[in-house]
């Protein structure tokens, strides 16, 4: 602190007509530190990387999560990452919620990032999620077109809000069990918590989703704490350089596989290497494209 051009102590008592200059330093930044965290890679070449993200991993650093994120792990692998996503989101083309597992796209070069971002906006990247929802949807196929924004009553949640960002999801029932539906959820847009909020709006929240009303009945669904049944299982995208169509599938992780077997009660399903495939999850039709 300067008073009348002279450095003074913080205990200085001001007087009338003193001219006080205070310099407020900028807030300290946080360096994003590379970390040796193992990742499951579903696809990789010089332009593109697709990671099979585990549940419990935050995608990028933010207050409260400056380490242990997917970005820390990507930096720990070394190699090039596009910078178009920003300093704290190098290479990221889209995100997954912390407790959502599955396939996530990362761009290695600036050209790949631009083209993948454009493909995402043009909806030529198709992302389909496996979800268990409590109860039974009224129809075999349900489309929800409802805008999303921060919940004005709770900024930690998203909500359907008039004037929010456009959001559209198609839900197709793959299998109907006693207390839940297994759904294939196709994102036409990519808003935060989109699938979770849209299903909750139908009165059928994602099984295990504490935030949007699906957290009860964990023991019935054999789910561990803080885990919801949502998995980015199927990804189709044009390669950003060659244009070739890439199709990738991610099998259910062990916790969700155990949950599906618990609610399905089909002994033969346990012997199949991929229960989703056995139930027809990867069979689509024109309306689900």
User: What CATH number corresponds to the domain at position 210?
Assistant: 3.30.2350.10
193-212 pLDDT, tens digit each: 999 999 999 999 999 999 99
Q: Dihedrals φ, ψ of 170, to 5°?
A: -105, 130
The predicted pLDDT at position 234 comes to: 98
Is the distance from CB of 3 to CB of 14 less than 8 angstroms?
Answer: yes
Active-site annotation holds for 97: yes
The predicted pLDDT at position 272 comes to: 93
Of the pLDDT bands very low, low, confident and very high (cuts 50, 70, 90), residue 165 is very high
Active-site option among 45, 46, 97, 271:
97
**136 and 269 co-located in one domain:** yes
For the residues of 106-122, what is the DSSP string, one character each? EESSHHHHHHHHHHHHT
User: What would the mean pLDDT of 145-167 be, rounded to a whole number?
Assistant: 95
User: What would the mean pLDDT of 152-163 be, rounded to a whole number?
Assistant: 93
Number of domains in the chain: 2
* CA distance linking residue 206 with residue 275, whole number of Å: 19
78-136 pLDDT, tens digit each: 999 999 777 778 999 999 999 999 999 999 999 999 999 999 999 999 999 999 999 99
Whole-structure pTM value: 0.87
The predicted pLDDT at position 28 comes to: 53
Residue 53 lies in a domain: yes
The answer on pLDDT for 65 being more than 80 is no
**64 and 170 co-located in one domain:** no
């Amino acid at each position: 602190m300067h008073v009348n051009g002279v450095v003074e102590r913080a205990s200085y008592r001001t007087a009338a007509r003193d001219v006080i200059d205070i310099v407020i330093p900028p807030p300290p930044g946080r360096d994003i530190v590379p970390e040796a965290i193992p990742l499951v890679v579903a696809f990789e070449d010089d332009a593109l990387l697709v990671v099979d993200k585990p549940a419990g991993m935050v995608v990028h650093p933010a207050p409260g999560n400056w380490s242990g994120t997917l970005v820390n792990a990507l930096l720990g692998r070394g190699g090039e990452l596009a910078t178009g996503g920003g300093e704290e989101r190098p290479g990221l083309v889209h995100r997954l919620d912390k407790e959502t597992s599955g396939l996530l796209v990362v761009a290695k070069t600036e050209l790949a990032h631009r083209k993948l971002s454009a493909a995402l906006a043009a909806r030529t990247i198709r992302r389909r999620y496996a979800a268990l929802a409590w109860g039974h949807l009224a129809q075999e196929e349900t489309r929800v077109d409802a805008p999303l924004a921060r919940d004005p009553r709770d900024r930690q949640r998203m909500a359907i809000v008039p004037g929010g960002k456009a959001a559209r999801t198609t839900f197709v029932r793959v299998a109907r069990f006693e207390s839940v539906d297994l759904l294939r959820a196709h994102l036409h847009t990519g808003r935060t918590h989109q699938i979770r909020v849209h299903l909750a709006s139908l009165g059928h929240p994602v099984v295990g989703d504490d935030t949007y009303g699906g957290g009860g009945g964990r023991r019935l669904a054999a789910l561990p704490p803080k885990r919801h049944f949502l998995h980015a299982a199927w990804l189709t995208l044009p390669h950003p350089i060659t244009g070739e169509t890439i199709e990738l599938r991610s099998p259910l992780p062990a916790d969700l596989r155990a949950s599906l077997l618990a609610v399905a009660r089909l002994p033969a399903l346990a012997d199949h290497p991929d229960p989703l495939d056995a139930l027809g999850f990867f069979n689509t039709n024109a309306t689900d494209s």
